[in-house]
Structure 1
Amino acid sequence: MLQSSQTTRKELRQFGLLFGVIFTGIGLYQLYNDTAETARLVWWILGALFFIAGYAAPTALKPIHTVWMKFAFVLGWVNTRIIITLIFFLVVTPIGLIMRILKSDLLAEKINKNTETYWDDIEPVQSVKEHLERQF
C-alpha cells in the first residue's frame, strides 16, 4: 500500500510550481483555441494560485499533494494491470500458440520410453581456478 513518508517543503514547492505550469499551459492552450474567456481565466487563476502557494507557502499544498499522490497510486495500480495483461495476450500468448503449432519442445518435457535417464551429461571442468576467474 501507499507508504507514509514525510513530504519536504522542496517537494511541495515543486508540486506547486508544476501544477502552476500545467494550469497556466491549459489556459494558454484555450487562448489558442478561442475558448470562452471565463474558462481561460479559471485556469490562469488556478495556475497563479499554485505558483504563489508553491513559492510563498508550500505547506498549504500538503492536503492537495496527499490526495494527488493517492490518486497517482491508484492510477499506477490500474495501469500496471492493464499493461501486464496486454503484454501477456499480445506477446506471450502468440508465442505459446506458435510453439504449439510448430510442436517445439524447448524444455525437453516429452517422455521418451527408450531413454534410461533424463540427466544431461556435463563435461568436467579442467581447472577450477580458471573456471572461477572472470565469470562475467
Structure 2
Amino acid sequence: MNQIFEDLAAIDEELSKRHLVLDPGGYFIIYLDRESGLICAKHFTNAIDERGLAVDPETGEVIPARGKVERTHATEFAGRTAKELCVKIFEETQPSPVTLLDHAAYLGREFVRAEMALVNGQDYVQD
C-alpha cells in the first residue's frame, strides 16, 4: 500500500511542475477556520500582462508568486465542505470569478484537500 501512495505522490509532484496559464478572473488564497469549522477562500482580482504574469489591476505591479503580498481581497467565500464552497463560487456567484476550467478543477482539488485536513485535524497548505 505504501508503494501505491508513493507512486501517486510522484505523479502529482511531476504534474505540479507543468506550466500554468493564469486565470484573468483572479486567484484564491485558501485556508481553514478551525474554530468555525470552515474552509475559506479569499478571491483577489488580477490582470494578466503581455508576458503572462499576474499584475495588480490598479497599479500594474507584478504580483509575486511567493512571499507575502499586501493586497485586499475582492470577495471571501466559506463553506463547511468542498462541495458547499464550490456551489457558492461556481453556481451562486454570477458571473463566476473563475474563468478557466483548469483553474476550477484546481480549486476543486484544493477544496477537497482542505476539507480532509479540516476533518482529520491536519495542517493544510495550499499547493
What range is the shorter-chain TM-score in? under 0.3
TM-score (norm 1): 0.26
Give the number of the structure with larger relative contact order, counting CA–CA contacts within 8 Å between residues 6 or more apart: 2
Please identify the structure whose Cα radius of gyration is greater.
1
TM-score (norm 2): 0.27
